[in-house]
């Protein structure tokens, strides 16, 4: 007698193997049979006509804070994600001394746009060391599994104090201590170490993050901790303003430790050929036997702009500034006033105001051809005819008027692809998705609260790439499932999940593929301190199971909380003894 048998579904097992029809039998938290017909069960779930897949393993999120107050980790849980990993981009909350808690919250706000007030209200701070942090996470009930990486920014501040904030060079003693603490974190269950080396990551005051100019000695010294423990991956985000330097130290870490090294790869407007140079370098490194990987996004990373968002094309205009702190509905009411509309459209942002914005944000006041209407369901591969500039030309209005009138409609947002849309379609992303040297990630779940929501990317990978894409070739459904199950699991050593196979953890999605539909993003006020954020809902998930327990059925939480903290070294991979 099985606990659950999922009957007659179309099984896509996560390995890339062609889909097949059959049953999936579950006993306790494990899969005990896949394919064919299985015997009776305490509960039978009819899955004829549904896809049966492993739960998604999302390895690039920023739920470091939300994991302390949200047992569901929405919206990722709505989209069939059963395991999330955070501690990405070098930001996190451990280790930490009491007097540096504010600095770490500032860094998280500056880098990932999670407001300081939300974090201050939601974090318990009942930890100092990284092992303490994991213990604190483990005490909270949750619906899905979580996993953490050690992050460079809190580590550097913990060891170097204000010298880290001033971005001073680390001494040999500093490096030795950071290495020791990284070993401690890995042995406690961290899945790796991450750092940030990009000018786009700044504090709320505009200062570059502490790790921005860390030298090769520091990076390789900390990275050597992974070799000493024999576990973990080293990840980083860089502008690659000195490609030779960045590639040299990453290859050195990979060569000396034997551990996987990954970096974030996107195309960029200012250097359209960069991604091809970098992926060529990855292939060259792999030809040398080095475990170097590019982590990629499955769609453009795009800022959404409207009322209540972090910014929009009018936030640098004086009349708009006067009302942007009002409640969203009050803002909308004021903006619908004809006199307010006339006044805002008559104003032009000053050069000084524009100069204060980050480089990509400066484009929002002048590149109307890069702004697109999103629609519902949202279009993440819009053609040029959907740009504000094109609509303005067709309708005889100015681009300002088109943008203004669109965003004051109820919950409508303009879409500005920041990266991965240089050529105006998804062809570079398709090439990356077909490249075995690339790892799918970058959903950024939990981050960029009022500008981006890409936590729904796992659903998008199926609906867009395997069903709906019309502006270029599609990709096989089996590949899209493999990309976010066995591949992400295997890369980080989560050896007990990511496949539908006997003995594997029973993390399972049942999906009505024809009905799978992403909703238009919306802003809600559901965080601590009444903080607001974007969410994105979805239709088409009939059920999601974690460890053999249904947590969602037809979009509704069942009340079950079977998730837990996953620690590296407890899932089959070898971690050297202390």
Q: Which among 494, 483, 534, 497 has a CA at the least distance from the CA of 296? A: 483
Confidence of residue 295 (pLDDT cuts 50, 70, 90): very high
Predicted local distance difference test score (pLDDT) of residue 356: 62
- CA pair distance 294, 440, nearest whole angstrom: 9
Q: What angle do CA 137, 138, 140 make, to 5 degrees?
A: 75
What mean pLDDT do residues 451-460 have? Answer: 98
Q: Which among 272, 266, 265, 271 has a CA at the least distance from the CA of 423? A: 272
Alpha helices in 288-413 (DSSP H): 318-321, 328-335, 338-346, 351-355, 359-362, 388-395, 399-407
Question: Can you give 99-129 as a three-state secondary structure string?
Answer: HHHHHHHHHHHHHHCCCHHHHHHHCCCCCCC
Fold of 59-300+435-458: TIM Barrel (3.20.20)
Interacting residues of 321 by C-beta distance below 8 A, sequence separation 6+: 315
Indicate the domain borders of the chain: 2-55+507-556, 59-300+435-458, 303-419
- CA pair distance 179, 232, nearest whole angstrom: 13
> What mean pLDDT, rounded, does the chain reach?
95
Q: Is the peptide bond before 481 cis (omega within 30 degrees of 0)?
A: no
Interacting residues of 364 by C-beta distance below 8 A, sequence separation 6+: 303, 305, 311, 312, 313, 357, 371, 416
The per-residue pLDDT for range 104-114, each reduced to its tens digit, is: 999 999 999 99
Both tokens assigned to 216: 């090769």
- CA pair distance 201, 216, nearest whole angstrom: 19
Contact predicate 32/502, CB 8 Å: yes
Both tokens assigned to 188: 């406690």
The per-residue pLDDT for range 174-196, each reduced to its tens digit, is: 999 999 999 999 999 999 999 99
The per-residue pLDDT for range 525-564, each reduced to its tens digit, is: 999 999 999 999 999 999 999 999 999 999 999 999 999 9
Burial class (CB in 10 A: 0-12, 13-18, 19+), 27: middle
Contact predicate 70/42, CB 8 Å: no
Both tokens assigned to 130: 């990284």
- CA pair distance 482, 473, nearest whole angstrom: 18
Contact predicate 311/371, CB 8 Å: no
Q: Which among 423, 492, 83, 419 has a CA at the least distance from the CA of 264? A: 419
Q: Whole-model pTM?
A: 0.96
Contact predicate 250/261, CB 8 Å: yes
- CA pair distance 389, 368, nearest whole angstrom: 5
| Distance from the Cα of residue 20 to its chain's centroid | 31
- CA pair distance 512, 542, nearest whole angstrom: 7
Q: Which among 567, 406, 552, 570 has a CA at the least distance from the CA of 72? A: 552
Query: Cα dist. 91→38, 72, 160, 223 in Å?
Result: 47, 22, 16, 16
What mean pLDDT do residues 407-414 have? Answer: 88
The per-residue pLDDT for range 198-254, each reduced to its tens digit, is: 999 999 988 999 999 999 999 999 999 999 999 999 999 999 999 999 999 999 999
Contact predicate 443/76, CB 8 Å: yes
Interacting residues of 393 by C-beta distance below 8 A, sequence separation 6+: none
- CA pair distance 119, 376, nearest whole angstrom: 32
The per-residue pLDDT for range 568-578, each reduced to its tens digit, is: 987 544 445 43
Q: The domain 2-55+507-556: what is its CATH number?
A: 2.30.40.10
């Amino acid at each position: 007698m099985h606990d659950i048998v999922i009957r007659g579904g179309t099984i896509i097992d996560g390995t890339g193997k062609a889909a097949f029809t059959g049953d999936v039998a579950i006993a306790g938290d494990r899969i005990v049979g896949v394919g064919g017909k299985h015997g009776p069960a305490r509960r039978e779930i009819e899955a004829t006509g549904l896809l049966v897949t492993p739960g998604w393993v999302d390895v690039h999120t920023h739920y470091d804070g939300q994991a302390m107050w949200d047992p569901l980790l929405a919206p990722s849980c709505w989209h069939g994600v059963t395991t999330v990993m955070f501690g990405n981009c070098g930001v996190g909350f451990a280790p930490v001394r009491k007097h540096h808690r504010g600095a770490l919250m500032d860094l998280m706000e500056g880098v990932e746009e999670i407001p300081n007030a939300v974090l201050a209200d939601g974090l318990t701070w009942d930890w100092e060391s990284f092992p303490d942090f994991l213990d604190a996470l483990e005490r909270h009930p949750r619906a899905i599994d979580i996993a953490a990486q050690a992050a460079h920014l809190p580590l550097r501040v913990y060891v170097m104090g204000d010298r880290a904030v001033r971005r001073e060079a680390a001494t040999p003693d500093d490096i030795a201590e950071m290495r020791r603490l990284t070993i401690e974190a890995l042995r406690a269950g961290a899945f790796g170490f991450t750092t940030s080396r990009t000018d786009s990551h700044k504090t709320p005051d505009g200062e570059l993050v502490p790790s921005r100019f860390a030298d090769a000695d520091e990076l390789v010294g900390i990275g050597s901790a992974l070799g000493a423990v024999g576990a973990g991956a080293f990840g980083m985000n860089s502008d690659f303003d000195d490609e030779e330097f960045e590639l040299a130290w990453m290859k050195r870490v990979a060569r000396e430790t034997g551990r996987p090294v990954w970096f974030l790869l996107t195309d960029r407007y200012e250097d359209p050929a960069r991604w091809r140079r970098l992926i060529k370098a990855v292939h060259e490194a792999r030809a040398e036997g080095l475990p170097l990987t590019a982590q990629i996004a499955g769609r453009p990373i795009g800022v959404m702009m409207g009322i209540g968002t972090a910014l929009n094309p009018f936030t640098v205009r004086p009349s708009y500034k006067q009302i942007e702190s009002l409640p969203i509905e009050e803002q909308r009411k004021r903006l619908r006033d004809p006199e307010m509309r006339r006044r805002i459209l008559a104003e032009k942002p000053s050069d000084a105001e524009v100069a204060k914005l980050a480089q990509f944000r400066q484009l929002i006041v002048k590149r109307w051809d890069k702004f697109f209407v999103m629609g519902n369901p949202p279009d993440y591969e819009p053609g040029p005819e959907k740009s504000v500039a094109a609509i303005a030309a067709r309708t005889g209005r100015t681009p300002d008027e088109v943008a203004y009138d669109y965003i004051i409609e109820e919950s409508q947002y303009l879409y500005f692809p920041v990266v991965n849309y240089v050529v105006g379609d998804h062809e570079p992303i398709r090439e990356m998705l077909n490249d075995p040297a690339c790892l799918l990630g970058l959903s950024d779940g939990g981050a960029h609260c009022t500008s981006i929501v890409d936590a729904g990317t796992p659903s998008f990978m199926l609906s867009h790439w395997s069903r709906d894409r019309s502006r270029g070739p599609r990709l096989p459904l089996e590949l899209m499932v493999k990309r976010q199950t066995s591949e992400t699991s295997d890369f980080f050593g989560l050896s007990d999940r990511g496949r539908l196979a006997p003995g594997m953890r029973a993390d399972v999605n049942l999906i009505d593929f024809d009905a799978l539909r992403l909703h238009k993003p919306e802003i809600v006020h559901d965080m601590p301190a009444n903080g607001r954020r974007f969410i994105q809902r979805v239709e088409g998930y009939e059920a999601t199971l974690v460890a053999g327990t249904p947590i969602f059925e037809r979009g509704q939480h069942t009340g079950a909380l079977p998730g837990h903290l996953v620690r590296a070294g407890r899932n089959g991979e070898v971690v050297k003894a202390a």
